[in-house]
Amino acid sequence: MRPDALGALLNRQPVLILDGGLATELEAQGCNLDDPLWSARVLVEAPDEIRDLHREYLEAGADCIVTASYQASIAGFGERGMDRAEASTTLLSSVRLAQEAREEFWSVPENRRGRRQPLIAASIGPYGAFLADGSEYTGDYDLDAAGLEEFHRERLRLLADSGADLLACESIPSRIEAGVLVRLLDETHDARAWISFTCRDAEHLSDGTEIDRVAEEVASSPRVVAVGVNCTAPRNLSGIIARIRAATDKPIVAYPNSGEIWDSPSRSWRPGEESLDLAFAAPSWVELGARVIGGCCRIGPNDIRRLRRRLLSATP
């Protein structure tokens, strides 16, 4: 894993564009995600769909694509009948698919015009993603810190050595889980990661901890190269970004969901109180200090295309 590939790219451009939602876009394109593995089911059953979507996001203007490993875990694949070796191979295939998509995209000369080679971030979702019960939005787990370390350790080490440019520890709902991930990063050779949180409002993580307090704690690790928020209601982002900026001078990552609400019992999305026009909202987040911006659930390639156009026209 290259030392701070994210920082190196941000030294060359003021804002980095992330991709959008992977699982929800796969679903919109016809994939069946009604499964505890969620997008990891497609990783097993239809990997070409994932590679094609990565390529679509790159063509839309993403400077960084995030792998389909958010809900993939050794334990989850084990429950599907895989042994440890097969589970590890399947997990690592998420990075290989992203690499293949990037190679295909970058091999076309016109795609390089005005662009720098995009990054690949290997996704590490929270324990709640494995539970598939919506607890990544509450942090209400049945594991203590030692149990969380056991759950995350092998996957984090595998993905840190996978050839991805960095790790994306995302949708982290609690201070305890964030602390576990930082400890594992600190003991993993050459690992670099951003850590992004789900938040209940403009001031608190999903577990109720003050966002500025946790941001300061995780940013103290040299392995953490950026701190931010994802899959959180757009109305809360300005307040969250301002509080993170007050706590650290490391780059801030911001990729909210569409404003719709995930209903865990019915496993479906329902309308929220707001709908996000990502391209319209993003310049104000840049003014507040965000430098890595994209979308999460229900944000697709067309949103990322509009986001890139807007930020390129608005950012010196």
Q: Which two tokens stand for residue 274?
A: 């707001």
CB 215 within 8 A of CB 250: no
Q: What is the pTM of this model?
A: 0.95
Query: pLDDT tens digits, residue range 254-304?
Result: 999 987 766 666 666 666 666 779 999 999 999 999 999 999 998 999 999
Least confident of 22-31, 231-240, 259-268, 279-288: 259-268
Cα dist from 289 to 42, 61, 205, 217, whole Å: 35, 21, 19, 19
pLDDT of residue 272: 63
Sign of CA dihedral 268, 274, 276, 277: positive
pLDDT of residue 65: 98
Looking at the predicted structure, is the pLDDT value of residue 2 above 80?
A: no
In the numeric block, the tokens 């049945």 are attached to 142
Confidence at 223, pLDDT banded by 50, 70, 90 = very high
Q: Which two tokens stand for residue 3?
A: 């030392």
Report the mean per-residue pLDDT for the chain.
93
Sign of CA dihedral 225, 262, 199, 240: positive
Looking at the predicted structure, is the pLDDT value of residue 84 above 70?
A: yes
In the numeric block, the tokens 């959008």 are attached to 20
pLDDT of residue 268: 63
Cβ neighbours of residue 116 under 8 Å, at least 6 residues apart?
Answer: 9, 12, 13, 63
Looking at the predicted structure, is the pLDDT value of residue 316 above 60?
A: no
Query: pLDDT tens digits, residue range 159-204?
Result: 999 999 999 999 999 999 999 999 999 999 789 999 999 999 999 9
3-state secondary structure of 256: coil
The CA distance from 298 to 39, in Å, is: 14
Helix 84-106, helix 47-60: angle, nearest 10: 40
Please state the domain extents for the chain: 5-314
227 DSSP β-pair partners = 195, 252
Length of the chain: 316
Looking at the predicted structure, is the pLDDT value of residue 315 above 60?
A: no
Fold of 5-314: TIM Barrel (3.20.20)
Query: pLDDT tens digits, residue range 6-16?
Result: 999 999 999 99
Q: What percent of the chain is predicted at pLDDT more than 90?
A: 83
Confidence at 36, pLDDT banded by 50, 70, 90 = confident
